[in-house]
Amino acid sequence: MTQQPDDILALDHLGKTFRVGFWGKKVQAVRDVSLTLKRGESLGYLGPNGSGKTTSIKCILSLIQPTSGKIRLFGADPSDATARARVGYLPEAPYFYDYLKPTEVLDYVGKLYGLDSATRKKRIPYLLDRLGLAHAMDRELRGFSKGMLQRVGIAQSLLSDPDLLIYDEPLSGLDPIGRKEVRELMAELRREGKSMFFSSHVLTDIETLCDAVCILDRGEVVAQGRLSDLLRMDKLESEALVDLPTDGQDAATTRLLAVAGVELMEQTGAMLRLRLPTDAVPGLTAAVVDVHATLRELSQRRESLEELFVQRAVHVSTDGQRTVPASRSA
């Protein structure tokens, strides 16, 4: 993979194998992951638990060393502290020194970034105020709720005004109001031109906040690309509501379902809810006329990220068959 000047993060066939247990059994957590993130872009990193998201993020931040492949962060190796200086990182369920106050945590982090005292004094109260922590500035973190800790985590990630934000599950464990606030904050940061790389289980949030996604399953990329391309890739679908005629409802139903690609989603009395590929719409409308039914509603629906995720994040069993795990097929 050749890195373009606009790429601020590039993973090139990244792989990570751990040795676990007494006998050092090999477990491949990440295999052959390649992706790029361009300046100003927002990339959602998705995958079920244990799919290798956090391992990849730890590789990007040089917390663990990849077994194979290469990572370029702002054109440099992640072990280069200067490259990491341009990154703001929020770990999953962030833990900070619980004996410190938010101001002290940020002051410590500010010193690590080499921010001078005057800047720290100005910027720390500003960020804490903006994140709704002004009232808790002088309280030790040990008394903070998960949501408040998450805000401290976000504040410390923004302290150095980084170009790239790497957030690991930024919305997990937050109550609905907290999630809404963090989502709005992330949207705001995105509008300001920050590049974002974040993992999440909340697919609707990814759909609203990201330009592109990369879906992992068991350490492998199963889908990747711009959201608009991915969600169109498997054709647009349509949904139709049809009122059956008073007489000959069974025959009419049989005729309608005989149209290629039409599937019955639901039947309520004389009303059918049908799903069909968009290119089957003319065939369905002709059949509706034939059986003297009424087409009450016809809407085009795009595949949701959730559907794509369930469809792609399937497991490959030993006999080579791909199966949706029970927990996700419901």
Q: Compare residues 184 and 297 and give the one whose CB is closer to other proteins.
A: 184
Q: Compare residues 63 and 236 and give the one whose CB is closer to other proteins.
A: 63
Q: Is 227 left (phi over 0), alpha (psi -120 to 50) or beta?
A: alpha
Sign of CA dihedral 289, 290, 294, 296: negative
Q: How far is the CB of 154 from other proteins (least distance, A)?
A: 9
Q: Is 261 left (phi over 0), alpha (psi -120 to 50) or beta?
A: left
Contact residues toward other proteins (CB under 8 A) are 18, 58, 61-65, 81-82, 84-85, 87, 89, 91, 93-97, 99-100, 108-109, 111-116, 119, 123, 127, 130-132, 153, 156, 158, 160-161, 166, 181, 184-185, 188-189, 192, 194
Q: Compare residues 112 and 233 and give the one whose CB is closer to other proteins.
A: 112
Q: Compare residues 93 and 264 and give the one whose CB is closer to other proteins.
A: 93
Sign of CA dihedral 300, 306, 307, 308: positive
Q: How far is the CB of 18 from other proteins (least distance, A)?
A: 7
Q: Compare residues 65 and 300 and give the one whose CB is closer to other proteins.
A: 65
Q: How far is the CB of 181 from other proteins (least distance, A)?
A: 5
Asked if residue 243 lies in contact with residue 294, where contact means CB atoms within 8 angstroms, the answer is yes
Q: Compare residues 101 and 312 and give the one whose CB is closer to other proteins.
A: 101
Q: How far is the CB of 130 from other proteins (least distance, A)?
A: 5
H-only helix segments in the chain: 53-60, 81-84, 102-112, 117-130, 146-158, 176-191, 203-209, 227-233, 249-257, 281-290, 305-312, 326-329
Q: How far is the CB of 227 from other proteins (least distance, A)?
A: 24
Q: How far is the CB of 146 from other proteins (least distance, A)?
A: 14
Asked if residue 72 lies in contact with residue 5, where contact means CB atoms within 8 angstroms, the answer is no
